[in-house]
Structure 1
Amino acid sequence: MSHPAAPRRPRAIGVLLAGSLALTGCSIDNPFSRDAKVTSTPLPSTAKVPTGQDALAKFYNQTLTWTDCGGPKCAELEVPIDYAKPDGETIKLKVLKTEKRGGGTKAGSILVNPGGPGGSGVEYARYADFIVGTPVRKAYDVVGFDPRGVQDSAPIECVEPPQLDDFLGQDPTPDDAAERQQAVTIATDFGKACAANAGPLLGHVSTVEAAKDMDILRAVVGDAKLNYLGKSYGTYLGATYAGLFPDRVGRMVLDGALAPDLTPEETAIGQARGFDTATRAWAADCVKEGNCPLGTSVDEVMTGLSDLLTKLDKTPATVTGDARVKKLTEGWAAYGIAAAMYDQGMWAQLTDALRKVVASDDGTGLMNLANAYAERDASGAYSGNMMQVIYAVNCLDAPDSPDIATYVEREKKAQEQAQLFGRFLAWSGLTCGHWPITSTNKPAKITAAGSAPIVVVGTTRDPATPYEWAVRLADQLEAGVLVTMDGDGHTAYMRANSCIDNALNDFYTKDKVPADGLRC
């Protein structure tokens, strides 16, 4: 299944099926209205060009022009498309700053990223009150940016919405040679469309380049060091920054960790295990509540879900109220189930949706969940470009194999470890296996030797970024500190766990590093 995901109330965007997930029900006004009031801020004296980067002086020395955008302030940051050619073409990245509230001395800025790749940091920072604790809001400006290729920063859009519908709804579990060849064709055609429509930027949206953009933003907003909150894929972005600029790491929190040395196969199988673990937790709750539509034990429910997806592969269910999608395919159904695993508050919605599919072949409820996953509404409009740019980033960061046999073998391994999601995630790298841009990047450990302490947070039953990845990243970082939340759902900070929240609030505001191994 070579697809991704999206935010619900601003939280995190996970990495799923070569993509991401975070269910977002927030709607915001355009922060870059042409009627916005323009104000200019002089370049802070602390925004200096780092040693050895004189070729980038014009970027480090730029002055942001801030506009009022309904409370927060907005600006555009200019960066080179290709860091190897700093005098070449440039793009502008959208930036949003929600200023600290309350009196007292400002501690600086916290740069935030919700994940993806493809999540909007601009939208995320707008909801600062929900993503950082009150003590942090009183001490810091919260700054977010749309990374290169994302949303309002030269967005990469490969296909039109109807074609994206077809791409996301495709058969995620090809069963025979003909279906596998069709999957290759779909993956290849999608990549060709990206190359045709994205231009030269398609080869320059890697995480390393986004991290370099972050350092320019750090300097331009006047921070000597980067204070950072990254969730899900945002942890990979933060770790990459730390590896490039360890001496510029300030107070950094990586929540819902993605270890940078994971191979595509390890990522696929690890996520499959993670989603299966989360689904079993939902199944236990479904059985406990009674009248569970798929069985009276966890094993029965898991088998029932597998059987239902197999049935939908052959005979899709009916969808009503959607402008374009009239049938719930196996692909859309898998997205719907996965969406509910990000937050246990959605479990009841999933149970109800499944009950209607089983009882009356009505797939509308499950399609609604899938739409939330895809940042899509019933009119067929997508609110962002995450479901497309996610491939552009992932395929540069971690190229995969073009060989069908690789995925057939990966499927066997994945199914041995994950009954439900193994098959889907085994095929998640196929698009990157046929990507039109050749990349020599390879997954690798990051130690960030010499950095300040970096807090890595893992949740024990996180579906998208399994807990063992947090352990792995914390072990690799020379100054890694592991904090654990024993619970369900994706990421931990600001999810109603006071132990986690207090520890991270104190880290940001009191420079009190949590005890390594703290468990909440």
Structure 2
Amino acid sequence: MPTRLRLRAAALTATAVLLSTALASCGDDGTKDEDLTRQELDWEACPAPSDAQGGGAPPSPLPDGGEWQCATMKAPLDWDDPKGDTIDLALIRARAGDTSRRIGSLIFNFGGPGGSGITSLPSFAEDYETLRTRYDLVSFDPRGVGRSAPVICENDQQLDAYFQQDATPDDDAERTELLDNTREFNEACEQNSKKMLPHVRTTDAARDLDLMRQVLGDGKLHYFGISYGTELGGVYAHLFPKRVGRAVFDAVVDPTQNAEQGSLGQAKGFQRALDNFAQDCVSKAEECPIGTSVQDVKNRIARLLEDLDSRPIPGVFPRELTQTAATSGIAQALYSQDFWEYLTQGLQQAYAGDGSILLLLSDSMNGREENGEYSNLAAANTAINCADDKPRYDTAFVERKLPEFRAASALFGDYLAWGMISCTDWAVPGAADHPDVSAPGSAPILVVGNTGDPATPYEGARKMVDALGEGVGVELTYQGQGHGAYDSENKCVRGAVNGYLLDGKVPRAGTVCT
């Protein structure tokens, strides 16, 4: 069941494989614990990913044959008690190619929240080879994620049932079942991860970033945040504006929205992406295999989902494709235009009674591997969102909002509206209605918005620029499709981002790339 679908690299990488806040004080005071700032990292060959990271083989060598290096950094469990218990945070790096012109470390967060940076960075290594000429490329598993004191909730068998459930109830019995399942999931999180749940807020991760900056030996934080990573970067800039070096935010979360507004924005964003997908299919020279017009494509999808509500079809044995799994599979395919062909094939199969492709796409969204094991993506996503977001919504609230969500998206409205109950009865109170990213005095931050982005709609880029404050955010627009802009390989976007990160050249505000 969706919380807020700010997934990016972790989910997209899995798809390719499957288918081949308040702190007590707020100031620019850095880290107080001198012992932790002086720790030395023991870099060594990276092990195979853990189950919580998604499993699989160790990262392949870099494009030039170099090896990835991994290390563990200690950080306070509770940043209000920095000399108390510590946790281990997992890091990965690729050393800069031109050591004579090395700028420092460029730290990546690929989003989620809940995505493993340890597995994501190697998967996208080729995209960042130009940046590696002058930076050590560094990423990490944020606290609660992967190898970094992971939040654990339900087991694999329970998660299979959880993600197959009816997440868009139509009557009292289905609503009761959804609430019961949500409560059981949340209780499992508390039972298995009680110690971590109060300490996975984005403000905690931002403090970890500043400790990481110091341990890596950088006077400023050079940062590349994608999707939820833009929210983390914005919170860091708010807490430590004088420590911001060269920073890029891509696929930008709207920092002014609460959880309800964010979910409604995503309903509009995914509907826009679906419209673009349908238009692309029917506009090609060859006949569109899933409809004769844009409306026909959408009508056939709607009928499929309606039929699946009462009659699931075979998926990946022994599991069936349910309405919920099909909806999340369609959403997953809309994250990247590269996956539109898979969505077309998946819909063709489903219309013929075979739900395997759509179910594999749904598995990717939820962090399920081919062997039936889940990463802790869903658990961490829920834990971080619920620790961050103050509102707690009940079924009566959702039912009042359903007309507005359905008007935003006939296909995704119910799905995202009911996702708002994910934090009901959560063990830890949420920190705030929305993050504070105001960062007066920060160096310029390049904010890149994609007009066709389904998960972090384009409008959020302008909101981020305004919230960062005058003279900080520099907006760049990409008129494209998919979640994010840099990985689209658009030469204009790449040139602007690389020019800023490598040479300090700030693009003209309002630059548009097509």
Same topology, TM > 0.5: yes
Map Cα deviations across residues 49-106 of structure 1 (whole Å, 9 max, x no partner).
Answer: x985674222222221221336122111111111112222210001111101135321
Contact 2:4 / 2:262 at 8 angstroms: preserved in 1? Answer: no
Kept in 1: contact 2:15–2:361 (CA 8 A) = no
Q: Deviations over 1:384-409 (max 9, x none)?
A: 21111100000011133242111112
3-state DSSP class of the match of 1:482? strand
Per-residue deviation, residues 109-146 of structure 1 (Å, max 9, x unmatched): 10001100011112233346324251x21100001110
1:1-20 to 2 correspondence within 5 Å?
Answer: 1-3=1-3, 12=9
CA 6–440 in structure 1, closer or farther in 2 if over 3 Å, else same:
closer
Residue 392 of structure 2 is aligned to residue 407 of structure 1? no
Correspondences of 1:140-159 after superposition (within 5 Å): 140-159=135-154
Instruction: Classify the secondary structure of the residue corresponding to 2:487.
Output: coil
> What is the CA distance between 1:433 and its match in structure 2?
2.5
Q: Does 1:211 align with 2:206?
A: yes
Partners of 1:401 and 1:291 lie apart in 2 by: 47
Matched with 2:346 is 353
- The residue number in structure 1 matching 2:70 is 74
How far did 1:3 drift?
A: 4.5
Which of residues 253, 265, 269 is equivalent to 1:270?
265
Which deviates the most, 462-471 or 325-334?
325-334
Return 285-294 or 268-277, whichever deviates more: 285-294
CA contact (8 A) 1:128 1:142 kept: no
State the distance in 2 between where 1:103 and 1:64 align: 19
1:74–1:94 CA contact under 8 A, matched in 2: yes
Residue 96 (str. 1) matches residue 86 (str. 2): no
Q: Are residue 505 (structure 1) and residue 498 (structure 2) matched?
A: yes
Structure 1 gaps of 5+ residues are: 14-20, 28-49
Matches for 1:244-263 after TM superposition, within 5 Å: 244-263=239-258
SS in 2 for 1:109: strand
Equivalents in 2 of 1:327, 1:90: separation in Å?
43
TM-score normalised over the length of structure 2: 0.90
CA distance in 1: counterparts of 2:459 and 2:135, whole angstroms: 31
Once the two structures are superposed, what CA deviation does each residue of 1:157-182 show, in whole Å capped at 9, x if it has no partner?
10111111111121121112221122
Deviations 1:290-345 (A, max 9, x none): 5545431111211221221111111111124x4xx521011110111011101112
- TM normalised by structure 1 equals 0.89
Match of 2:458 in 1: 467
Equivalent AA in structure 1 for residue 350 of structure 2: V
Q: CA separation in 1, counterparts of 2:77 and 2:234?
A: 22
Change (3 A) 1:23 1:463: farther
Partner of 1:139: 134
- Structure 1 residue 339 corresponds to structure 2 residue 329: no
User: 1:182 aligned to 167, 177, 180, which one?
Assistant: 177
**Conserved 8 A contact 1:114-1:234:** yes
Deviations 1:25-68 (A, max 9, x none): 578xxxxxxxxxxxxxxxxxxxxxx9856742222222212213
One-letter code of the match for 1:239? G
Note the C-alpha offset of 1:285. Answer: 1.9
Specify the alignment match of 1:115 in structure 2.
111
**Residue in structure 2 matched with residue 58 of structure 1 by the alignment:** 35
Alpha-carbon distance, 1:190 to partner: 0.7
Q: Provide the rounded CA distance (Å) in 1 between the counterparts of 2:223 and 2:465.
A: 16
Q: Is the 8 A contact 2:345 2:357 kept in 1?
A: yes
**Residues 381-400 of structure 1 mapped to structure 2, 5 A cutoff:** 381-382=373-374, 384-400=375-391
Aligned residue pairs total 482
Q: Deviations over 1:1-27 (max 9, x none)?
A: 4356698xxx646xxxxxxx5343578
User: Unaligned 5+ residue runs, structure 2?
Assistant: 18-26, 47-60, 62-66
Separation in structure 1 between the aligned mates of residue 437 and residue 431 of structure 2, nearest angstrom: 17
The answer to whether 1:422 aligns with 2:413 is yes
1:303 is aligned to 299
Q: 1:348 to 1:83 in 2, by over 3 A?
A: same
Aligned to 2:487: 494
Q: Which residue of 1 aligns with 2:57?
A: none
Query: CA separation in 1, counterparts of 2:3 and 2:320?
Result: 18
* Deviation readout 1:402-456 (Å, 9 max, x if unpaired): 4211111222111112121111111112111221222342214422111000111
8 Å CA contact 2:337, 2:482 repeated in 1: yes
Give the aligned partner of residue 379 of structure 1.
Answer: 371
Q: Name the aligned partner's letter for residue 460 of structure 1.
A: T
CA distance in 1, matches of 2:387, 2:336: 30
Check conservation: 1:225, 1:250, Cα contact below 8 A: yes
Q: CA contact under 8 A between 1:461 and 1:486: conserved in structure 2?
A: yes
5 Å matches for 1:473-492? 473-478=464-469, 479-492=472-485
Q: Deviations over 1:337-394 (max 9, x none)?
A: 01110111211111111112112x1111211222222232333122x21111100000
Helix, strand or coil: the match of 1:94?
Answer: strand
Between the two proteins, what is the percent identity of the paired residues?
Answer: 39
AA matched with 1:313: D
Q: CA RMSD in A?
A: 2.0
Question: 2:356: which partner in 1?
Answer: 364
